[in-house]
């Protein structure tokens, strides 16, 4: 029989490494600014997402069950913001070689989780899946948050490194334009997939 921690770890790896807004932003930032300048964004997600998991575990999930329209509204607001980001990436000046104008700060990346539909979907599914009725809710939620945070950093580091490698391999504006369009399409596709 598989242990709950191992199952949680597999869930966390799947959630962190699969394409989504955080991963695409890390890739775009790595390509535009390098790995070091992308670290605040990586740390912001690594710290911000577990805070969201804790908030969901300690009651926010219950609020969404009571007022489902609130969750739907946040989902649409987040989707609109992500489509705006996709547009900004798609129309970025290829001569500058940058899909985004400046890297996210730690605080911006942490706050971004609250409008990121994939983050909401993961947080709202991981808490009820890996907590037990009558169990130690505080301990279980803190364990979930710790595992999710621990997996987030290496996942985003891989995506940012991918962006750095793309930038090294591609040197002409036309190729940068194609990469910007591909990243924009990935962000837009991640929004579409969240509504399926």
> Largest Cα–Cα distance in the chain?
59
CA–CA distance, 43 with 156 (Å, rounded to integer): 9
Q: How far is CA 141 from CA 152, 155, 159, 188, in A?
A: 16, 21, 27, 31
The tokens for 96 are 């500058």
The answer to which of 55-59, 71-75, 82-86, 182-186 has the lowest mean pLDDT is: 71-75
> What confidence score (pLDDT) does residue 1 get?
47
Q: How confident is the model at residue 88 (pLDDT cuts 50, 70, 90)?
A: confident
190's torsion region: left (phi>0), alpha (psi -120 to 50) or beta?
A: alpha
pLDDT tens by residue, 126-177? 888 888 877 788 899 999 999 999 999 999 999 999 999 988 887 777 777 7
CB atoms within 10 A of CB 58: 14
Coil, strand or helix at 105: coil
Question: pLDDT above 70 covers what percent of the chain?
Answer: 85
pLDDT tens by residue, 21-58? 899 889 988 988 899 999 999 999 999 999 999 999 88
Q: How confident is the model at residue 96 (pLDDT cuts 50, 70, 90)?
A: low
């Amino acid at each position: 029989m598989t242990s709950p921690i191992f199952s949680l770890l597999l869930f966390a790896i799947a959630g962190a490494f699969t394409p989504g807004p955080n991963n695409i932003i890390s890739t775009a930032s790595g390509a535009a600014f390098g790995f070091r300048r992308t670290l605040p964004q990586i740390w912001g997600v690594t710290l911000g997402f577990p805070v969201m998991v804790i908030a969901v575990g300690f009651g926010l999930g219950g609020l969404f069950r009571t007022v489902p329209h609130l969750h739907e509204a946040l989902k649409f607001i987040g989707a609109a913001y992500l489509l705006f980001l996709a547009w900004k990436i798609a129309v970025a000046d290829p001569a500058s070689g940058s899909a985004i104008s400046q890297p996210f700060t730690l605080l911006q990346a942490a706050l971004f989780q609250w409008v990121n539909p994939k983050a909401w979907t993961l947080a709202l599914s991981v808490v009820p899946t890996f907590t037990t009725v009558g169990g130690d809710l505080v301990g279980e939620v803190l364990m979930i948050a710790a595992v999710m945070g621990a997996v987030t950093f290496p996942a985003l580091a891989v995506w940012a490194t991918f962006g750095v490698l793309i930038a090294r391999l591609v040197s002409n504006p036309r190729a940068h334009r194609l990469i910007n369009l591909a990243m924009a399409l990935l962000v837009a596709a991640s929004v579409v997939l969240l509504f399926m």
